[in-house]
Amino acid sequence: MAKRGKCLCGAVSFEFSGAENWRAHCHCESCRRNTSSPFTTWFGVPNEAFSFTGKMPKVYASSPGARRMFCGDCGTPIAFEHDKFPHEIHLYAASLENPEDFQPDFHVYWSERLPWLHWSDGLPKYATTPIGAQPLMEP
């Protein structure tokens, strides 16, 4: 069964099939600035399982190798691609039709988190990314 998502105005929409590759809260400064929020929640899906079904999003090259996609009409951030992850696209959990059914599995860029947020979700926390890393102990 396909899962779907869209931007605020509905112009940019997407769907994917199958399970997500991963699901995480991100605390990095780039994601915080891109969304004007203290953290954002992402998931990654294989490119071959994903498609845009509405208008194509606008693309902003936010740093070398990184492309952030957003709706050109309402401005909603919608996706992220990076040369480090050539076989998957990253999507915002809040853009899903049913985000209440979504459950993140860990935190990334914990080392960049804002100190005024306090977490008690018990999820593993990684200083940067979990690729080859061990989770941190709760500070």
What average pLDDT does range 71-85 have in this prediction? 96
* 3-state helix/strand/coil string of 15-60: EECCCCCEEEEECCHHHHHHHCCCCEEEEEEEHHHEEECCCCCEEE
Mean of pLDDT over the chain: 93
The more confidently predicted of residues 133 and 50 is: 50
pLDDT given at position 20: 95
pLDDT-based confidence at residue 135 (cuts at 50, 70, 90) = low
- Return d(Cα 75, Cα 113) in angstroms, integer: 25
Q: Which domains does the chain have, with CATH numbers?
A: 3-96+105-112 (2.170.150.70)
Distance between terminal CA atoms of the chain? 40
Residue 118, CA atoms < 13 Å, CB-side half-sphere: 0
pTM of the model: 0.90
* Amino acid symbol at 108: V
